[in-house]
Amino acid sequence: MSVVNFPSQKPQIWICDCGCSSFTLRADGEAECCNCELVADGVGGGWMERIRNGPSRDPEADPPYADVQGNGSEEFARRRLQRLASQDDVVALAVVKEDGRVSSWSVAETDEQIAWTQRLYGVAAELIGKKS
């Protein structure tokens, strides 16, 4: 049994060089990025602290994203997003209904916060249609 020394005792996630934080664990023991399919070999990616209820990463940095696959299950995707939406550190939400109605909410108040939130909504929009 090997011991893995993590860079920090704080909660962290591995971010692929492409920005995705979701990986498929393969039968050969390798972790493959869900977005670009590269094997997480420790080169090009990096550890990012998962800070809850506190300051986040540099707001100007490209945000990491999770491309979590549910094997095509809409039920899985809905349950996962409902769980994420209910967490205390959520600062913005958007919901699109089948009939085209859109609802959104955020805690953004200042021009900087609004711009940051809109930029991240743009990132979310770019994820729609990415290879699954």
Where does the pLDDT of residue 126 fall: very low under 50, low under 70, confident under 90, or very high at 90 and above? confident
If you ran DSSP here, which 8-state letter would residue 118 be given? Answer: H
The pLDDT of residue 1 is: 36
Mean pLDDT computed over 10-16: 72
Map out the domains of the chain as residue ranges.
Answer: 12-127
Segment 51-108, tens digit of pLDDT: 443 345 555 666 666 656 566 678 877 887 888 899 888 999 999 999 999 999 999 9
How much is the average pLDDT of 109-118? 92
* Mean pLDDT on 9-14: 68
CA distance 94 to 60: 22
Contact between 8 and 49 (Cβ < 8 Å): yes
Does the pTM surpass 0.85? The reply is no
- Interior/surface letters 89-121, b for 16+ CB within 10 angstroms, e for the rest: eeebeeeeeeeeeeeeebeeeeeeeeebbeebe
Q: What are the tokens at 116?
A: 């940051």
- How would you classify the pairing of strands 12-15 and 23-25? unpaired
Helices (H), the chain: 74-85, 111-127
Average confidence (pLDDT) over 114-128: 89
Q: What is the mean pLDDT of the chain?
A: 75
- Listed in sequence order, the residues at least 6 apart from 88 whose beta carbon sits closer than 8 Å to its beta carbon are 52, 53
Look at strands 31-33 and 23-25 and give their pairing: antiparallel
